[in-house]
Amino acid sequence: MEAVDPFIFRLAIFVLAVFVGYYVVWSVTPALHTPLMSVTNAISSVIIVGALAAAGAAAANPANPFGKSVGALAVLLASINIFGGFLVTQRMLAMYRKKDTVDVKLKAGE
């Protein structure tokens, strides 16, 4: 038998990850659906790895570094998303409190 095309391995990882995503996301409590959206937003900015490679690598044709410029712009956009996404999620999650903790805070005179 000949060697398996690497594409098939990628496909396998992808398909299995879809299943993992399916089960993990169904177990997310509906109360946290908004933070779920903002955090998935932040992690999908992992596309920055492609942007970093494009911006960082030496241009094939230094006179016309198109890939580099496009990559740098993509790094900028993805950074907005990464910092914005994780921090706004953190801000939201910090607000979710249980009854006892809220009462304690109220009694503490906050």
Nearer to other proteins, 3 or 7 (CB): 7
Smallest gap from residue 104 Cβ to other proteins (A): 11
For the CB of residue 108, give the shortest distance to other proteins in the complex, in Å.
13
Instruction: Give dist(CA 93, CA 110) in Å, integer.
Output: 19
CA 96, CA 89: separation in Å to the nearest integer? 11
Q: Shortest distance, CB of residue 4 to other proteins, whole angstroms?
A: 14
Cβ–Cβ < 8 Å for 42, 93: no
Closer Cβ to other proteins, 1 or 8, answer by number: 8
Residues 97 and 78: their CA atoms lie apart, in Å, by 31
- For other proteins, the closer of residues 1 and 27 by Cβ is 27
